[in-house]
Amino acid sequence: MSDTTLIKNAIESKNPYNSKVLQEYELDTPELVASKLEKSNSVFKVWKEKSIKERTNLLNNLSNLLEDRLEYLSELMTQEMGKPISQSRAEINKCIFLCDFYATNAENFLADDIIETDATESFISYDPLGVILAIMPWNYPFWQVFRFAVPTLTAGNTALLKHASNVSGCALAIQKLFEDSGYPQGCFQTLLTDHETIDGLIKNDIVKAVSLTGSEKAGRHIAKVAGEHLKKVVLELGGNNACIVLDDADLDTYLDTMVNARMQNTGQSCIAAKRFIVTKGIYDEFLGKFTKKIKDLRFGDPMEESTEIATLAREDLAVDLEKQVHDAVKKGAKVILGGKRDKAYYAPTVLTKVNTDMAVFREETFGPVAPIFKVNDFEEALKLTTDTKFGLGTMVFTEDTEKASKAISEIPDGAYFINELVKSDPRLPFGGTKASGFGRELSKEGILEFVNKKTVYVK
C-alpha cells in the first residue's frame, strides 16, 4: 500500500501523516516526454557556450530564491513525505549552502588543467557531456536533486529529472526554482512518468549519462540498461552503516549525535547508523542512555515545531520494516523499546541480542530501528563492521582518535567519520563502494563526473 496512487494517467499524492489527498498530477504523455528530451538537447547547444561565470551568477540567484521560498518549500516537503518541518527547513538551508559553495568554487574546479609536456601547450579541458538523466528518491526530495543538478548544470550540461512519484510537487517546484532563477527554459526539466519510459530514455542517444540515488535493486537495473548502451552512470545506493562505540567514548558529548545518526528523517536515510556496535566496557551505560533518549523523542504532526520523529513516507515502508524486526525476534533478538506499527508509523525501536543471521544485520533497514551488538574490543568491532555487502560509511566514537585513525585503511567504505555521524557536505566527495554504488557527488569530484576530460595538445 502506497501513499502515492496511480490513477489512470495521473498520480494522486497523499500526506503520509493524515492520509489526506494533496494533489493529482497528470503523467506526461509519450509525446511530451519526447518533446522535453528534444528541448533539453536543443538548449544544451546554447547552454554549453555560456561562460562559467554566467552559470555561477545564476547559482547566486538560485540561492536567493531558495531563501525567499524557504517556508513554502519546507512545508511542501513535509506534507508530501512527512519529514518534521524543522528538518525540512534544514534541508533547504543545506541546498543554499551547496549553491553558494559552487558559486564560489566552480570556476576554479572547471578551469583548464595545464600539463607540462614536450608540446608548445598541453592541457585538460573539462567539457560538458550533454543531457544527463537523474532518477531521484523521496527521502531528501530537494537535497538529493540539488546535489546532482547544481554541479551538473554548472559544468554546462542540461538535466532531466525523474523524481519519486510521491514528491511530484517538490519535483515541479525544483524546476520552477531553476527557471525563475534565470536558467534557460529546458535547462532543467521534470518528467512525470513511469519506469518503463525511463528505460527508453536511457537507451536514447540524446541522453549521455545517468545519475541514480536509490535502492540496490534499482541501481543494478539502471546500470545494466546504461551499460548495454555504453552510458556513464553514477550510483548512490543503499547503506548499512556501522556506528562503533568504544569504551572511552564520551557519551555526554556525543550521545545526541548517535541518536540523530539513526533517527533523523525518521530513520529514512541511506547514511544513517543501521548497526550499533558497542564494546562491552561501555555497553550497559550506552544501552541505558541511548534507549532513554530515543524513548523521549517527540512524535506528532510533522508540521508542528516540536515534532522530532514522524510517520514513514509510505505505509508499505513501515510494513517492510515490521517484517525485518519480526525476523530478528524470531531468530532471538529482544525488543527493548518499540517494535510496534500503526499504519505508516513505526515506533522507534531498540533491539538487543542480535546476530549476523538477522535481516536487521544483512539488509538495509530504512526506518527508526537500532540493533545493538556487543563486542569485546575494537578489533572485533571492525570485523563485524566490514561483514556487509554495503560500503557507504562507518562512524567511530572514541577519545583515542589516533587509534581510530589507524583503522582508516581497514574500512573499505566511501566515508569514515570519527566522533561525528556520517553526513554529506558540499566541500567533500560523497559516495560508496560495493553494493552502495560507485561514482562521487559533491566537491570537485562531483562536478567532474559528467564532463569529458579532454586532452588538448598543441605543437
pLDDT tens-place string over residues 258-276: 999 999 999 999 999 999 9
pLDDT digits (tens, 9 = 90+) for 174-185: 999 999 999 999
Q: What is the pLDDT of residue 256?
A: 98
CATH superfamily to which 241-425 belongs: Aldehyde Dehydrogenase; Chain A, domain 2 (3.40.309.10)
Q: How far apart are CA 151 and CA 99, in angstroms?
A: 9
Q: Which three cell numbers stand for residue 381?
A: 568491532
pLDDT digits (tens, 9 = 90+) for 73-106: 999 999 999 999 999 999 999 999 999 999 999 9
Name the H helices within 127-279. Answer: 143-154, 168-180, 195-203, 216-228, 251-263
| Catalytically annotated residues | 236
Q: How far apart are CA 415 and CA 271, in angstroms?
A: 10
Q: How far apart are CA 148 and CA 66, in angstroms?
A: 16
Q: What is the pLDDT of residue 2?
A: 41
**Could you count the other beta carbons within 10 Å of the beta carbon of residue 326?**
13
Q: Which residues pair with 77 in a beta bridge?
A: none
Contacts of 330 (CB under 8 A, 6+ apart): none
Tell me, yes or no, if the pTM score tops 0.95: yes
Q: Count CA atoms closer than 13 A to 81's CA, side-chain side.
A: 27
Q: Which residues pair with 203 in a beta bridge?
A: none
Q: What is the pLDDT of residue 196?
A: 85
Share of residues in the chain with pLDDT > 70 (%) = 98
Share of residues in the chain with pLDDT > 90 (%) = 97
Please give the distance of CA 188 from its chain centroid, rounded to a whole number. Answer: 19
Q: What is the pLDDT of residue 1?
A: 36
Per CATH, is 4-237+436-458 categorized as 3.30.300.180?
no
Contacts of 106 (CB under 8 A, 6+ apart): 52, 55, 56, 59, 151, 154, 155, 447
Cα distances (Å, whole numbers) of residue 310 to 29, 79, 353? 35, 12, 27
Q: What is the pLDDT of residue 6?
A: 52
Task: Give the largest Cα separation in the chain, rounded.
Answer: 72
Using alpha carbons only, how large is the chain's radius of gyration in Å? Answer: 23
Q: Same topology for domains 4-237+436-458 and 241-425, yes or no? A: no
Q: What is the pLDDT of residue 282?
A: 98
Q: Any idea of the CA torsion for 177, 179, 183, 185, to the nearest 10 degrees?
A: 150
Q: Which three cell numbers stand for residue 274?
A: 543501521
Domain boundaries, the chain: 4-237+436-458, 241-425
Q: What is the pLDDT of residue 9?
A: 85
Q: Which three cell numbers stand for residue 5?
A: 496512487
Looking at the predicted structure, is the pLDDT value of residue 405 above 50?
Answer: yes
Contacts of 170 (CB under 8 A, 6+ apart): 73, 76, 77, 80, 141, 142, 163
Question: DSSP secondary structure string, 182-215?
Answer: TPPTTSEEEE---HHHHHHHHHSTTEEEEEEES-
**Helices 216-228 + 195-203 axis angle, to 10:** 30
Q: Any idea of the CA torsion for 251, 257, 260, 262, to the nearest 10 degrees?
A: -70
**The amino acid at 216:** E
Q: What is the pLDDT of residue 8?
A: 63
In this structure, are residues 342 and 364 in contact, taking their beta carbons and an 8 Å threshold?
no
Q: How far apart are CA 220 and CA 285, in angstroms?
A: 41
Q: Which three cell numbers stand for residue 180?
A: 525563475
pLDDT digits (tens, 9 = 90+) for 322-369: 999 999 999 999 999 999 999 999 999 999 999 999 999 999 999 999
Question: DSSP secondary structure string, 111-130?
Answer: S-EE--SSSSEEEEEEEE-S
Looking at the predicted structure, is the pLDDT value of residue 5 above 70?
Answer: no
Q: How far apart are CA 426 and CA 459, in angstroms?
A: 39
**Could you count the other beta carbons within 10 Å of the beta carbon of residue 285?**
15
Only one residue has cell 567504505, namely 413
